[in-house]
Structure 1
Amino acid sequence: MTVHAGDSLPDIALKTLSEGLQTHFASSLFAGQKVVVFGVPGAFTPTCSARHLPGFVDHLAEFSELGVQVFCMAVNDPFVMQAWGREQKVPPALQLVSDGNAELTRYWGLELDASASGMGTRCRRFAMYIEHRVIKHVAIEEPGQFEVSSAEAMLAWLKR
């Protein structure tokens, strides 16, 4: 399967470390709200740390003004995601979630084989807008690109 606008969210578990190790199902974590989820190949990786995550941090107030919650997802364990969030000074309003076993990534058809770099299965860079558990817009980057999944691109889509 490849993710498309109109798809509903599955009951696949994601992990956070907000108050101890927590399990959340995608279908309920993003329920009843407007959400932007952006996926990155990996915490602490160059483009993810220098541009992708910082862009969403910088524009978080604009998303909030639109009534949109922001989540960042990666195929990293929740402890790595928490450490990355601290290092990047991510405010609590931007939630970092772990798809550590790449279950949601695979379900959406967004897996990236980074074995040549010693990183195994990762998530392709993407951003999507979800409203009440239904995907309304999805922007998937070509390998090595960073254009359509930026905070600026998602804000432009939301404000169109």
Structure 2
Amino acid sequence: MTISVGDKLPEAKFKEKTADGPVEVSTKDIFSGKKVVLFAVPGAFTPTCTLNHLPGYLENRDALLAKGVDDLAVLSVNDWHVMGAWAEKSGGMGKIHFLADWDAGFTKALGLDMDLSAGGLGVRSKRYSMLVEDGVVKSINIEENPGQATVSGAEHMLTLV
């Protein structure tokens, strides 16, 4: 079953690369007591994710914060090394949390996993964005086509906060 508006996020742990090395963070660490924009991508460094989805959030980060968002996070079913490299290469380190859902545990708990084995990628996350307040989903925007970042993009999210 897919998570819905009004649902509380399941408890999960992620790996995130910081300036001091890898750290383990939980949904409580990221979402408790805050308004957070979470967006997920099928894979770090993949074309739509790198050229469209992530740049939109980096470009609109300040506008989202000005509208009352406390934090932003991007999630992918990748390891923390890949997510850390993506954060550094994109210029997003320290601006957005790059959460590694390395075993797809959180993604599966949300019901937002998809099998891209035919393309050599294995189990990955659907492309989506959500607005989360104190751990509760306030809006969720799931792309029908994983090669697009329209309803899950930053420009659309700006209309929802």
- TM score, norm. by length of structure 1: 0.94
Q: CA offsets, 1:46-84, max 9 Å, x none?
A: 000000000000001101112311100000001100101
> Which residue in the other structure is 2:153 paired with?
150
How far has the Cα of 1:88 moved from its partner? 0.9
Distance in 2 (alpha carbons) for counterparts of 1:86 and 1:20: 13
> Which residue in the other structure is 2:74 paired with?
72
The aligned amino acid for 1:27 is K
Distance in 1 (alpha carbons) for counterparts of 2:41 and 2:78: 10
How far has the Cα of 1:91 moved from its partner? 4.4
Secondary structure at 2:137 match in 1:
strand
> Which residue in the other structure is 1:41 paired with?
42
> Which residue in the other structure is 1:17 paired with?
17
Question: Could you list the runs of 4 or more consecutive aligned residues of structure 1 that deviate by over 3 angstroms after TM superposition?
Answer: none
Aligned pairs for 1:2-151 within 5 A: 2-18=2-18, 19-68=20-69, 69-143=71-145, 144-151=147-154
My pick for the range that moved more, 120-129 or 62-71, is 62-71
The CA RMSD measured in Å over matched residues stands at 1.1
How far has the Cα of 1:20 moved from its partner? 2.0
Aligned length: 158
Distance in 2 (alpha carbons) for counterparts of 1:151 and 1:135: 17
Residues 77, 103 of structure 2: 8 Å contact kept: yes
Identity of counterpart residues, as a percentage?
40
Residues 9, 27 of structure 1: 8 Å contact kept: no
